[in-house]
């Protein structure tokens, strides 16, 4: 109760105070913003080995944009905790790896939003998997995926992501986390190198899925 008094829950979208804390797995949204929420149909949440929780629309899309580009790091906690309730966590994971940024982009932004979301999600997820924010890295800079069509996205990422030298993943189960997935090209590129490093199981998880 004291924590709620000192840090009262606020709406992710409009920052208005909420009357009461929301249940785990439910986005903290006010009565005006909640109707705009766009959850994915359960049957459409998983495409291959990549799971997403919500559509890239409405208040969560705005919140992720503010986290990534406006430096509103306080949004990482509530957004990351939403990820912790994705069904894929039930499989049990040894390691959680965020999708990496190239060092120049990370330096310009000051943080990797996928790493922030991973830490918050793993903190609340039931199996307590270890987060390894530096497990993967960008070997080279790439063009923003949002500027490319599906085939160009695959080509753009060819050879761009790698497991850091000396890291063996033999027999481990690795979950790779990102904020937004569209075609799945970025997460797929990460899963490919994780599997090539010997992982026994690899899957991807994103908070939002955007339409191309």
Total of domains in the chain: 1
**Structural domain contains residue 30:** no
pLDDT in tens, 113-143: 999 999 999 998 877 689 999 999 999 887 7
pLDDT in tens, 93-119: 999 999 999 989 999 999 999 999 999
Most confident of 18-22, 148-152, 170-174: 170-174
**Structural domain contains residue 163:** yes
Contact 42, 88 (CB under 8 A): no
DSSP code of 56? Answer: S
**Structural domain contains residue 22:** no
**Structural domain contains residue 124:** yes
**Structural domain contains residue 170:** yes
Q: How far apart are CA 153 and CA 160, in angstroms?
A: 11
Per-residue pLDDT band for 166 (boundaries 50, 70, 90) equals: confident
**Structural domain contains residue 59:** yes
**pLDDT at position 6:** 41
Given a cut of 50, is residue 4 above it in pLDDT?
Answer: no
Mean pLDDT of the chain: 89
Query: Global pTM?
Result: 0.90
CATH of the domain at 198: 3.40.50
**pLDDT at position 7:** 56
**Structural domain contains residue 103:** yes
DSSP 167-194: ---TT-EEEEEEEEESSSHHHHHHHHHH
Contact 59, 100 (CB under 8 A): no
Bigger pLDDT: 140 or 60? Answer: 60
Q: Tokens at residue 12, please?
A: 């992710």
189 vs 35, 119, 138, 193, CA distance in Å?
A: 35, 21, 11, 7
Structural domain boundaries, residue 129 = 37-209
**Structural domain contains residue 138:** yes
Coil, helix or strand for 162?
Answer: strand
Q: How far apart are CA 31 and CA 7, in angstroms?
A: 20
Torsion, Cα 89 94 98 99, to 10 degrees, reads -100
């Amino acid at each position: 109760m004291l924590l709620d008094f000192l840090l009262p829950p606020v709406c992710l979208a409009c920052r208005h105070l909420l009357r009461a804390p929301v249940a785990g797995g439910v986005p903290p949204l006010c009565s005006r913003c909640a109707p705009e929420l766009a959850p994915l149909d359960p049957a459409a949440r998983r495409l291959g080995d990549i799971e997403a929780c919500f559509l890239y629309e409405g208040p969560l899309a705005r919140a992720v944009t503010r986290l990534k580009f406006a430096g509103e790091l306080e949004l990482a906690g509530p957004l990351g905790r939403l990820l912790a309730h994705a069904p894929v966590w039930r499989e049990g994971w040894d390691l959680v790896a965020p999708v990496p940024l190239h060092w120049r982009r990370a330096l310009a932004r000051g943080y990797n939003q996928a790493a922030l979301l991973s830490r918050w999600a793993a903190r609340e997820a039931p199996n307590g998997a270890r987060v390894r924010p530096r497990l993967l890295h960008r070997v080279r800079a790439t063009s923003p995926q949002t500027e490319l069509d599906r085939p160009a996205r695959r080509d753009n990422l060819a050879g761009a992501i790698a497991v850091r030298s000396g890291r063996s993943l033999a027999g481990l189960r690795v979950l790779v986390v990102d904020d937004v997935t569209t075609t799945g090209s970025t997460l797929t590129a990460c899963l490919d190198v994780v599997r090539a490093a010997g992982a026994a199981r690899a899957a991807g998880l994103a908070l939002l899925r955007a339409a191309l």
